Structure formats: structure tokens, C-alpha cells
Amino acid sequence: MVAGTVAVDAAHALRLESVRKVYGSGVNAVTALDGVTVGLRRGAFTAVMGPSGSGKSTFLHCAAGLDRPTSGRVLLGETDLAGLKENALTELRRQRIGFVFQAYNLIPALTVEQNITLPLRFAGTRPDKAWLREIVERVGIANRLEHRPAELSGGQQQRVAIARALVTRPEVLLADEPTGALDTRTGRQVLELLRGLVDTVGQTVLMVTHDPVAASFAHSVVFLADGRLAGELHQPTPDLVVRRLTNLGEW
Ligand SMILES: Nc1ncnc2c1ncn2[C@@H]1O[C@H](COP(=O)(O)OP(=O)(O)OP(=O)(O)O)[C@@H](O)[C@H]1O
Ligand SMILES: [Mg+2]
């Protein structure tokens, strides 16, 4: 391949190639990611697991363009994130990536509908009414659009956050411990929702989780240990995930 060109890889919505991330320098340098290559298949649900400090959040931040790799590259579709200036990267995050965190990060003073459409306001575009209707029905909050976040349960707030992440029709939905603050039952509903989005509208989802049951909702699990890829599991079950984690050592 000619230097500077990007291989068009239609199968992958997002690709990390030999990504290395070193924080700090000299004796204080910490290698958080050490040459990780992972492709996220378009329309697939992928979970990332690994011991504390193995580089999961760093992986997600590099994948999202929130953090720049020390070397290697990140491709969102055909776009090489390294080639983008800060403004363009911000724009890309707003329009092409959806984020869901453990904390819902909803704005208390805004209604549910205003929270969901906020990314569009930032992007300066109008809501597509039909799409808005579809996502609020899909996440099950169509009858709460005029409510404030404080009037909703934790699970409902997380579903609003998911709707907000979907409103721009992102190519990839990135989730960092999306069920971390929810009870088992409510967490399950959120996971079923994410899996349903993958199965019906072909949403590509990447989720970092500590929970083997949550990981079992994904099509495949990528394991990290000490900043390196430590295996991949297809069609994960909670038991298989636990067994693999145990073999990673220090779990
Ligand atoms: N901003 C930073 N500066 C220095 N070191 C960092 C920074 N961020 C992360 N690290 C280090 O990089 C390594 C990987 O951290 P990371 O947060 O990616 O792990 P993690 O797998 O998400 O862990 P956890 O499960 O505890 O959230 C750790 O050793 C961490 O201390
Ligand atoms: Mg983390």
C-alpha cells in the first residue's frame, strides 16, 4: 500500500491498527496500550473486557478520538483520525460517534426531548421527526418526552442517554460500563435494548464492561491484558467469559 493512503475496509465500521498509547515520559512513562489491532465489524456488538488497568478506557478513548494514540492509527470508516485537526475531530465525534457512559450525563433543566435532541443543536441540524419517533419508541420513553430527568428512574435515564447517542445516527455507538450504575434487572433491559439496536437497525456497538453477563449480550468479546490483545471470544456465554478472564491471571 502506498504510504498515506487508507485501505478501504467495508467490513469494518471502526479499526484500530497497531495502536500504542504511552502516558507520560521517561521513568514515569506508562504504556497503556501496546500495539493493539482490532476491527469492529459493521453491525456487530463487541464487548471489551480485561483486568483493571489493562487499557480498556484508553482503548475506548482512542477509538472515539478523545485521545490520540502515540503511534498506530484509528480508522472510522475511511477516515484516519490522525489526519484530523482538533475542530474536525470534535465535529466527527459529534456527528459520527455516539457515547453512553455509566453516568447518564443528562441536563437536569432540560426535558427528555430537549436532552435527546441536544447533539443536533450542537451540530446545527434539525431533528428528523420520523427517526426521533423511532428511537424514543424503541428505547421506551415516548410517553415521557416532556418530563425532566429527575422524574425518571435510573434505567429510564440511561435509555434517554442511549436515545441521545443515537439521534445523529452515529456509525458507531461506544459505551463505557453502561449498566454499571443499574440493578441487574434494569441493566438487562438496557443490554437487550443495545442488542436489539444491533439486530434490527444494524447499529455497530462497542461496549466496555466488567460484567460477564453484560458481555454475553455481545457477538464477540475482545480481551485486553497489560495493554495487549489477549484473545477474542465469539458467541460468548457468561461461563465462557468467566473462564477466559480467569485464565488472564490477576482477575
Ligand atoms: N492520563 C493518564 N496518565 C497516566 N497514566 C494513565 C492515564 N490514563 C490511564 N493511565 C494508565 O494506563 C493504564 C491503563 O488505564 P485504563 O484506564 O485504560 O485501564 P482500564 O482497563 O480502563 O481500567 P479500569 O478497569 O480500572 O477502568 C493504567 O496503568 C493507568 O494507570
Ligand atoms: Mg476504565
The DSSP annotation for 92-154 comes to HHHHHEEEE-SS----TTS-HHHHHHHHHHHHT----HHHHHHHHHHTT-GGGTTS-GGGS-H
Residue type, 9: D
Q: In what order do the strands lie in the sheet with 220-225?
A: 97-100, 172-176, 204-208, 45-49, 220-225, 228-234
Answer CATH for 12-250 from 3.40.1210.10, 2.60.120.1090, 3.50.50.60, 3.40.50.300:
3.40.50.300
207 and 45 Cβ atoms separated by less than 8 Å: yes
User: For the residues 18-39, what does the mean pLDDT come to?
Assistant: 96
Q: Whose CA is nearest to atom 6 of ligand 1?
A: 23
- Distance CA(49)–CA(178), nearest Å, equals 13
Say if residue 127's pLDDT is above 90: no
pLDDT of 182 reads: 87
**77 in ligand 1 pocket by Cβ < 6 Å?**
no
Residue nearest to atom 5 of ligand 1 (CA): 23
Q: Does 50 contact ligand 1 (Cβ within 6 A)?
A: yes
Does the pLDDT of residue 181 top 60, yes or no? Answer: yes
Share of the chain above pLDDT 90, in %: 80
122 has pLDDT over 90: no
Query: Contact 81/89 with Cβ under 8 angstroms?
Result: yes
Residue with cell 439496536: 197
Task: Calculate mean pLDDT across residues 170-190.
Answer: 91
Identity of the residue numbered 30: V
Q: Ligand 1 atom 30: the closest Cα is on which residue?
A: 53
Specify the 3-state DSSP secondary structure of 168.
coil
Residue range 180-201: mean pLDDT, rounded: 91
Give the pLDDT of residue 69. 97
Q: Does any ligand 1 atom lie closer than 6 A to the CB of residue 24?
A: yes
Distance 223 CA to ligand 1 centre (A): 15
11 lines ligand 1 (CB under 6 A): no
Q: Which helix (DSSP H) or strand (DSSP E) does residue 12 occupy?
A: strand 12-23
Q: How many Å lie between the centroid of ligand 2 and the Cα of residue 81?
A: 22
Tell me the C-alpha distance between 207 and 139, whole Å. Answer: 18
